[in-house]
Structure 1
Amino acid sequence: MRIFPLLFIFLSLNSSSLGAQVEYKVLKVKGDLGRRAEVIFKCSFKDSGKYSLTVERLGLKINVEITFPGKEFVLKQPTRKGEELSSTAELFEIKENNTIKQIAQLPFRNGELQIKNLNPQKEYLLKYSVKLKENKDSLLAPKIDEKNTISFKIPIFFQKGSYQLDSKAKLILDEIKPLIKVCNLKVIGYADSTKIVKAKVKSNIILAKERALSVLNYLGVENGNNEDNNTSRSKEK
């Protein structure tokens, strides 16, 4: 089953994007992983510290994971009519070897969750879920009271041998367009190692590049790289 991270961000941000970083890669694996472009945002807030947000869709269920530095933490998860927020969230401590240990089940109260008395020397992971209405394609992003840095990535999938955006990809990009003026943006285009027989491109590396540029063009963002820095052909297993 394909997983679609879909979200809409409506946070007050401070940084500005001056073009986007672009990479393109040919993967040894085949399938969806080699037919995508990743849109990666890093959005800076006033104070120091880092958050990361992961939103994954499985059917009509959205799983949300947030990592954050140890201190008082206040989260608000907006929902639309008909959507169902899980009654509790699981809180984990992230160990030095990147393993996690569950330490609490925390209740949501009117869509809000507060965590106090955390160790400021440690990092934590919060997990919860939202059930969406039928035919609703996006989740309202959580609001985090602290003004820090949040980063996340969203995959855009393509048909085999194509770099054309379909209607579902455009829907996702339409929702994240407001972020391009306030966040640092990086797009990575991917292609797999399948031999190209009939296509508008001559090689997989060009296909990966065109996928990245299709995303940039639709968002209306300039390529912030020099062409010489754009020719990375790194591979993943």
Structure 2
Amino acid sequence: MHRILLLLLFVLPLSLSAQNLQQEGEYGIDWGGYLFGFKGGASLGNQDWTGLETELLLGYHGALFVESVPAQGKFSFYGQLGYHIRGSRISRRRGFTFGGAGVTLPADDFRFQNISLGIGAKQVFGYSRIADFYYLLGVRLDYNVDTNLDEYDQLEGSFGLNFRANYPFESYSFINRFTYGVSAGAGANIPINDAMGGFVEISAHPDLNFQYNQPPIQNVIDPFGAGNRTIGERAIRNFTIEISVGLRFLRKWTYID
């Protein structure tokens, strides 16, 4: 499913670009319009886990957006819809079964595949010969469509449910379908012609609620030592940094007296 979504994110704007019109005059008096386009790139995901230190996860993202024509060339509003990989990873480790046998733990990443709807504003704060520099601030709502947590189910068949319990479960009793957060970042718009431009952007996306929230689990085999232990409440919150490149197009129409 996510491959189809990504294809739409990148192909649809190209089909619309033929509608670009180049008109002269003053915006709001002689003509009106809006900006639209697409962006994509690399994502660096991290998660705030209860009781576990995690590392950055390399992922990807893509989005379609629309944007108002900047007032006086500086301030604009935007809305966007995209596909984003959020999550984190841990270093591949050696653990121990209840009998003391060594085992290499499986897949070392936790991936949450989310559809994200965001709205916000942009403000141009500087200019150069080749680019206009801006910052952005917005809010967003994410919907989780899938995870890779079922990869850890192999532990249950090999070492039992108690060993499996050391990792999050693929269960929407614990996974929150909806998460929400804020977006902040900065970028540079690079004009190509009157109707098209490119841009580069870096943005941060902290969540304000938990992607995963699980109550305590007792009598779990400790993979890093001997005996059993109680896993405390497991609450996981996303934080993602995204580096994006994209194209934007100007859609114009002329006002007729």
Shorter-chain TM-score above 0.5: no
Please tell me whether Structure 1 or Structure 2 has the larger radius of gyration of its CA atoms. Answer: 2
Q: TM-score range by the shorter chain?
A: under 0.3
More strand by share: 2
- The structure showing larger relative contact order (alpha-carbon pairs under 8 Å, at least 6 residues apart) is 1
**TM-score, length of structure 2 as denominator length:** 0.24
